[in-house]
Amino acid sequence: MRSSTRFWFVLVNVLWLAAWAAAPGAARPPAAEPQAPRQAVLEEILSVGGPDDTVILQWTGVAADDDGAIYVLDALDCSLKKFDDRGRLIKRTGRKGQGPGEFQFPVLLALSGGRLYAADQRRLGIQVFDRDLRFLRTIASGKLVSALVSTGRDGVAYKPFTPLGESARWFVVDETGALISETVYMPKIEAYLADSISLAFDRKGGVYTAYLYRDLLEKRDGRGRLIWSRTPRGGAASATETIQGLKIASTMFWLDAALDPQGRVYILAGGKTKNPGRDVLVFDSEGKLLATFILPQPSHCLYIDGRGFLYARADEGVCLKKFRIRFL
């Protein structure tokens, strides 16, 4: 049975958590009126899978290389799949299990330096594959991983789950798992999932974070120092609920963040919007809102490849759509 994005995201995490218990001066000319954000339109150029096809059962993670090959994690058949630039399945690897190259519930995928990194919501570690889907090694994570992204260089950044009362942080590691850097972005969490973020790294060392359960977008430098923050929904606080004695953030503001080759930041809106999972806000590198658009169908994530094509979910996860973005 296929489930909605929010259902599987929240359910998996809750089950795991329950188990793991201006200065005065001379007159200035009036400020110019802020310009309304531009609109963007999407042109569909590829569709992979669909309701009448079994090539994808429910995809969760996606990446694409410079040759146009597309890599997909499929949570329902516990596999990593490679498609060519026409959407034809080239290779599949993985099965349900705890061994090398096997999965329990794979959800996160990143491509960096010719290596694929996959994280599972029901087993520890980050599994590393080459672009031919050969398993190479597992990077120890200590805790389950809730965010995984390419840094634009060799290696990846990941965020482990944070116990209550501890500091939330992300780590950057190379393909062997050697630590490159560590960033604390929240000194102490007081509700589970409140530190949940989507990460995006630009080519100049900037790091963008979209908080899933807080109305907050941030940009930091490579050393973790805050450059700016934005609250597009007015800074509203997340509601919380108690499940099996655990205080859990329950208002999902944002779903994902992605960068295009020009350095524009794309944020997929969650529940506090007119079209949940479909409304997308586009910012420049200084946090100025540039444009908005609406995805044809709800998606749990956005991915933009090195050529600027956008990938999103369709048909409840059995279909992957690839789009060209055009700004009006």
Mean pLDDT of all residues in 265-272: 93
Neighbours of 77 (CB within 10 A): 16
Query: What is the pLDDT at residue 279?
Result: 96
Q: Is residue 140 part of a domain?
A: yes
Confidence of residue 12 (pLDDT cuts 50, 70, 90): very low
Confidence of residue 278 (pLDDT cuts 50, 70, 90): very high
Q: Is residue 290 part of a domain?
A: yes
Q: Is residue 20 part of a domain?
A: no
Query: What is the pLDDT at residue 34?
Result: 52
Domain that holds residue 53: 37-327
Mean pLDDT of all residues in 165-180: 95
Q: Is residue 305 part of a domain?
A: yes
CA separation for the pair 194, 213 (Å, rounded): 6
- Count of domains for the chain: 1
pLDDT tens for residues 222-268? Answer: 889 999 999 998 888 888 898 888 888 888 999 999 999 999 999 99
Work out whether strand 240-243 and strand 246-249 pair parallel, antiparallel, or are unpaired.
antiparallel
CB 77 within 8 A of CB 117: no
- Model confidence at 24: pLDDT above 70: no
Q: Is residue 106 part of a domain?
A: yes
Q: Is residue 3 part of a domain?
A: no
CATH of the domain at 58: 2.120.10.30
Query: What is the pLDDT at residue 157?
Result: 96
Is pTM beyond 0.75 here?
Answer: yes
- Model confidence at 269: pLDDT above 70: yes
Q: Is residue 26 part of a domain?
A: no
Query: What is the pLDDT at residue 79?
Result: 97
Nearest partner of 289 among 226, 231, 206, judged by Cα: 231
The beta-strand segments (E) located in 161-277 are 168-173, 179-186, 197-201, 207-211, 217-220, 226-230, 240-243, 246-249, 254-259, 265-269
